[in-house]
Amino acid sequence: MKDTKQQWFKEAKYGLFIHWGLYSVLAGEWKGQEVEGIGEWIMNRFRIPVEEYRPLAKQFNPVYFNADELVRRAKEDWGMKYIVITTKHHDGFAMYDSQCSDYNIVKATPFGRDILKELQLACEKYDMKLGFYYSQAQDWDDPDGYYAGMDNSKKDFRAYLERKCKPQLRELLTNYGDVALIWFDTPMQMTEEESQELFDLVKSIQPNCLVSGRIGNHLGEYMSTGDNFIPLQPYAGDWEVPATLNDTWGFKKNDHNWKEADHILRLLLKINSRGGNYLLNIGPTALGDVPEDSIRILNQVGDFVKKNAEAIYATKAIPAPVYDMEWVTITGRPHKLYLNVIKPTRRVHITAFDNHVTHAYLVETGEDLEFQIGGPTSPTGHITVKIPEEYKTKAFYTIGLDIEEETLVNKDLDW
């Protein structure tokens, strides 16, 4: 079981992932051809030679990027507790002022600004945790970095580690204040010793910086599930689901397959009810703005999160309920359950429910609600909560239940 031993991570429950880099310039298209699948892999998918990919830096001028506005939104509008940004994705381009590789946003682009420094300052201002994604094994730019789908056997991976990976990690951990976590990714064939070296390097500079599950060889401090993968049962320990709002991480101009707010909210609540954090992605454009659809959806989810904060933050896994209902997802904390209504329902009625409830209330107003345990067929085993008339056509609200038991008790379905 993974244990970060850090309260902030256990309580955060909702964070913002940012995939942003040179691939955003291509926006999913190379020489008139659309890339299949995720946009940030375009260099790999089309085998774009380094000499043709590098010049994209000259077109990268994200003049609309506004770190303050982005962090403010994440905190105040979206209700997120931490941000993780790609400081170097598999394409090898650094999104900060790196001294050990000029292939970076400050030295290679007309933009010339260190967006990481700007984000660090904004995160400090808004009291937001900031973590760095760093592709430690794949580097399609460095001759000795791994390249998925190619023969890597002739590469001197050690040389790449010493020349680029470790020095860049040192820079990230030295020049940008307190780093909440390093989000390693795709370890590929890294050995246990190599993963351990990177782990030790992080801890030697910032002992409180968490190391993500994808450092490889089971050395991470929390578990990262597969992309967009939500376990059916609660996992023990600390874990996180990295997830997309559409079907790509890096910006793709033709990907409009957005998951709408009710879908995202259901996923957030499912993950929280099983004890995990939801790290939800945006892919800014090459001009530095966040796609309008992302903002719209995150604002809607954020409205719920802010009004019903007690049903989200610092909640604990509840035992896998025996039901999976369209209109409601249940979260909880010791002696509390939350019925989060996602689709309008005329009747708030939960069966196979065996808790002793002492109080029911509408979380967003605090208003007390009447409730009834049992019914015509059984004196126990279900609860009906009376909701105000106007809520019968509403969704995105939460009913809080104070319970005598520690957590949810499912009644035997035998009755």
CA distance 195 to 217: 7
Give the pair of three-digit tokens for residue 163. Answer: 């020349």
Lay out the site mask for ligand FHN across 171-200 (x = CB under 6 A, - = otherwise).
--------------xx--------------
Residue 216's region, left for phi above 0, alpha for psi from -120 to 50, else beta, is left
20 forms part of the interface with ligand FHN (CB under 6 A): no
242 forms part of the interface with ligand FHN (CB under 6 A): yes
DSSP 8-state secondary structure symbol assigned to residue 258 = P
Neighbours of 9 (CB within 10 A): 24
DSSP letters along 301-316, please? HHHHHHHTGGGTTT-B
Contact pick of 40, 142, 144, 194 for ligand FHN (by CB under 6 A)? 40
Contact pick of 16, 27, 38, 57 for ligand FHN (by CB under 6 A)? 38
- Of the candidate spans 7-15, 34-42, 93-101, 149-157, the one that interacts with ligand FHN by CB under 6 A turns out to be 34-42
- Of the candidate spans 37-45, 202-210, 256-264, 389-397, the one that interacts with ligand FHN by CB under 6 A turns out to be 37-45
Closest approach, Cβ 148 to ligand FHN, in A, equals 8
CA distance 75 to 29: 32
Closest approach, Cβ 281 to ligand FHN, in A, equals 7
CA distance 345 to 337: 18
Closest approach, Cβ 309 to ligand FHN, in A, equals 26
> Which 247-286 positions form the footprint of ligand FHN (CB under 6 A)?
249
> Which 321-340 positions form the footprint of ligand FHN (CB under 6 A)?
none
> Which 374-403 positions form the footprint of ligand FHN (CB under 6 A)?
none
The SS3 assignment for 280 reads strand
Site residue total, ligand FHN (CB under 6 A): 8
CA distance 321 to 351: 11
Instruction: Answer for the pair 398, 308: CB distance below 8 angstroms, yes or no.
Output: yes
Name the residue among 79, 127, 89 with its Cα closest to residue 312: 79
What's the first-to-final CA gap in the chain, in angstroms? 36
134 forms part of the interface with ligand FHN (CB under 6 A): no
CA distance 78 to 72: 9
**H/E stretch holding 410:** none
Closest approach, Cβ 282 to ligand FHN, in A, equals 13
Closest approach, Cβ 89 to ligand FHN, in A, equals 6
Complex with ligand FHN: residue 53 or 397, whichever CB lies closer: 53
- Of the candidate spans 35-43, 100-108, 332-340, 366-374, the one that interacts with ligand FHN by CB under 6 A turns out to be 35-43
Closest approach, Cβ 38 to ligand FHN, in A, equals 5
Complex with ligand FHN: residue 251 or 396, whichever CB lies closer: 251
Q: Where are the alpha helices (DSSP H) in 105-144?
A: 115-126
Q: At what angle do helices 192-205 and 166-175 cross, to 10 degrees?
A: 20
Instruction: Answer for the pair 304, 286: CB distance below 8 angstroms, yes or no.
Output: no
- Of the candidate spans 33-41, 163-171, 201-209, 349-357, the one that interacts with ligand FHN by CB under 6 A turns out to be 33-41
Complex with ligand FHN: residue 38 or 169, whichever CB lies closer: 38
The SS3 assignment for 165 reads helix
- Of the candidate spans 36-44, 59-67, 317-325, 326-334, the one that interacts with ligand FHN by CB under 6 A turns out to be 36-44
142 forms part of the interface with ligand FHN (CB under 6 A): no
Complex with ligand FHN: residue 19 or 270, whichever CB lies closer: 19
227 forms part of the interface with ligand FHN (CB under 6 A): yes
Would strands 371-375 and 378-385 be described as parallel, antiparallel, or unpaired? antiparallel
CA distance 384 to 372: 5
The SS3 assignment for 269 reads helix
The SS3 assignment for 294 reads helix
Complex with ligand FHN: residue 185 or 238, whichever CB lies closer: 185
Closest approach, Cβ 278 to ligand FHN, in A, equals 13
**H/E stretch holding 85:** strand 82-88
> Which 80-99 positions form the footprint of ligand FHN (CB under 6 A)?
none
Point out the residue whose Cβ comes nearest to ligand FHN: 242
Q: Which residues form the interface with ligand FHN (CB under 6 A)?
A: 38, 40-41, 185-186, 227, 242, 249
